[in-house]
Amino acid sequence: MNKITMREEVKEKRLALYSELYHQYSHQIQELFFSIEAFKEARTIALTVSIQNEVDTYELIKKCWELGKVVVLPRSDFKTKRLTFFQVQTFEQLEETKWGLKEPKNEDKWKVSKEQIDLVVVPGLAFNRLGARLGYGGGFYDRFLENENFVKVALAFSFQVLTSIPTEEHDQMVDIVITEKEVIYT
Ligand SMILES: Nc1ncnc2c1ncn2[C@@H]1O[C@H](COP(=O)(O)OP(=O)(O)OP(=O)(O)O)[C@@H](O)[C@H]1O
Ligand SMILES: [Mg+2]
């Protein structure tokens, strides 16, 4: 299967999740995420704000704040295909971009450098047990993660874990995949 067909298939399955299960599974994933050592040790965590039926991160972000973690969220530059991270302390700091993403407002005082980040929650449509990842097709995270030493964690519903993922040379792997059923150390 090629990347384009696989993206469509996973998106369809994710939209079909009943809302009850969606919240239940998202909650289970969140609890497993909080249980891993890498989370406990991390001070600054890069996350994304969930859209559509991605694993819900609103509750997770709130919980991170309560636990005293520094939450940083990306702004995407579609010209350069680069991400810039900003510390976010309240959802009021977010704005909806023209691509339908919820991203932090572009305020210099909240900007955070790469070196400050301990753990990156990497978004994606599908993963495998070896850590291969199928993203949304922009290469944003592949560029951001290249030659860096973050702990990389993916949060995914179990149907997003597939046996084989088409990858290319530039694709970056994740270290841990967390589903509602299990924590997979890749
Ligand atoms: N480190 C890189 N340097 C240059 N080009 C890159 C790099 N990483 C990815 N690209 C380019 O970006 C494009 C999209 O990559 P890919 O299909 O792997 O996206 P993706 O992993 O699904 O996206 P994302 O990381 O935004 O979720 C490809 O054409 C690829 O060549
Ligand atoms: Mg990729």
Q: Is residue 135 in a domain?
A: yes
- Is 26 a domain residue? yes
Better pLDDT: 14 or 106? 106
Q: Return the pLDDT at 7.
A: 95
Pocket test for ligand 1, best of 2, 145, 170, 173 (most atoms within 8 A of CB): 170
Tell me the average pLDDT across 46-55: 94
| Average confidence score pLDDT of the chain | 96
The whole-number average pLDDT for the span 136-158 is 96
In this structure, is residue 81 part of a structural domain?
no
On whether residue 93 sits in a domain, the answer given is no
Q: In this structure, which residues have their CB less than 5 angstroms from ion ligand 2? A: 135, 142, 171
Q: Which residues contact 58 (CB under 8 A, 6 or more apart)?
A: 49, 50, 91
14: confidence class by pLDDT, cuts 50, 70, 90: confident
The type of residue at 75 is R
The number of folded domains in the chain is 1
Whole-angstrom CA distances from 68 to 12, 55, 63, 159, 160 are 36, 22, 9, 32, 30
Q: What is the 3-state secondary structure (H, E, C) of 83-101?
A: EEEEECCCHHHEEECCCCC
pLDDT at position 66: 98
Domain span at 149:
3-72+113-185
pLDDT digits (tens, 9 = 90+) for 62-73: 999 999 999 999
Calculate how far, in angstroms, residue 138's C-alpha sits from the geometric centre of ligand 1: 5
CB atoms within 10 A of CB 167: 15
Per-residue pLDDT at 144: 98
- With respect to residue 103, please indicate whether it lies within any of the assigned structural domains: no
CATH number reported for the structural domain that contains residue 166 in this entry: 3.40.50.10420
Higher pLDDT, 95 or 18: 95
Domain contains 107: no
Q: What's the pLDDT tens digit per position in 17-44?
A: 877 799 999 999 999 999 999 999 999 9
The answer to the question of residue 46 being in a domain is: yes
Q: Is residue 104 part of a domain?
A: no
In this prediction, residue 173 has a pLDDT band, given cuts at 50, 70 and 90, of very high
Give distance in angstroms: CA of 6 to centre of ligand 1.
16
Closest to 152 measured CA to CA, from 16, 45, 17, 10:
45
**pLDDT score at 118:** 98
| Cβ < 6 A, ligand 1 pocket | 3, 134-143, 146, 170-171
Instruction: For ligand 1, atom 24, name the residue with the nearest CA.
Output: 139
